[in-house]
Amino acid sequence: MECELPRINSNAQEMKQYFEKAKTIAVLGASPDSSKASHRVAKYLKEAGYKMIPIYPKGDLILGEKVYRSLAEIEEAVDMVVIFRKPAALDAIADAVIARGDVQTYWTQLQLINNQAAQRVKDAGINVVQNHCAMVEHKALV
């Protein structure tokens, strides 16, 4: 999957609509390390007015928000999931997103492409964005 190109993706107008509809965004792989892209994107989304929910395997707080270990642990509704994980992990993440039943948008960051997982998510009626930075797109579109 190293050289895979996204076959399933959204256009700029659709991405803008996803941001306009979203209120709560889970950042899967949000790092407590401020030098990491996942931390900067999570911080940006929080400062842009979204309820940002960090998902990370350790720690209690990231950017002042309670850290969850998995998407399944989050009790409140999640509109969008922004993903910072390797493409091989996207199959299991797609299953978790579909299982929740409330996620409207599945968003993988730059260089994260798994068309098989994306197709399953799309077939479940969930919007798909692959290989785009949520922060860059939000700044450009909203």
* pLDDT tens digits, 15-44: 999 999 999 999 999 999 999 999 999 999
| pLDDT band (50, 70, 90) for residue 1 | very low
Parse the chain into domains and list their residue ranges.
Answer: 12-141
The answer, yes or no, to whether residue 2 has pLDDT greater than 60, is no
* Residue located via tokens 């077939």: 123
Q: What confidence score (pLDDT) does residue 125 get? A: 98
What's the pTM? 0.94
Band of pLDDT at residue 65, cut at 50, 70 and 90: very high
We find that the CATH architecture of domain 12-141 is: 3-Layer(aba) Sandwich (3.40)
Residue 87 has a pLDDT of 86
